[in-house]
A and B are shown apart, each in its own frame.
Chain A
Amino acid sequence: DADVTQTPRNRITKTGKRIMLECSQTKGHDRMYWYRQDPGLGLRLIYYSFDVKDINKGEISDGYSVSRQAQAKFSLSLESAIPNQTALYFCATSDRRVTEAFFGQGTRLTVV
Chain B
Amino acid sequence: GEDVEQSLFLSVREGDSSVINCTYTDSSSTYLYWYKQEPGAGLQLLTYIFSNMDMKQDQRLTVLLNKKDKHLSLRIADTQTGDSAIYFCAEGNNFGNEKLTFGTGTRLTIIP
Contact = CB atoms under 8 A, between A and B. Distances in A.
B96 A97 contact: yes
Contact of A42 (B41, B45, B95, B105): B105
Interface in B30-80: 31, 33, 40-45, 48
A4 B4 CA distance: 26
A54 to B, nearest CB: 11
B104 A42 contact: yes
Contact of B42 (A45, A48, A50, A105): A105
A56 B1 CA distance: 16
A96 interface: yes
A33 B8 CA distance: 24
Given A40-B8, A99-B31, A45 B99 contact: yes
Given A50-B97, A58-B99, A101-B100, A42 B4 contact: yes
A58 B2 CA distance: 12
Contact of A48 (B33, B92, B99, B103): B99
A1 interface: no
A43 B43 CA distance: 10
A99 B29 CA distance: 13
A74 interface: no
Interface string A93-112: 01111111101111000000
Interface in A30-44: 33, 35, 40-44
Contact of A4 (B42, B100, B102, B105): B42
22 contacts: A40-B104, A42-B88, A42-B103, A43-B43, A43-B102, A45-B100, A45-B101, A58-B99, A59-B1, A90-B42, A90-B43, A92-B43, A94-B98, A95-B96, A96-B96, A99-B33, A99-B48, A99-B92, A100-B45, A103-B44, A104-B42, A106-B42
Given A44-B102, A104-B42, 12 more contacts: A41-B104, A42-B6, A42-B102, A42-B105, A92-B43, A99-B31, A99-B96, A100-B45, A103-B42, A103-B43, A103-B44, A105-B41
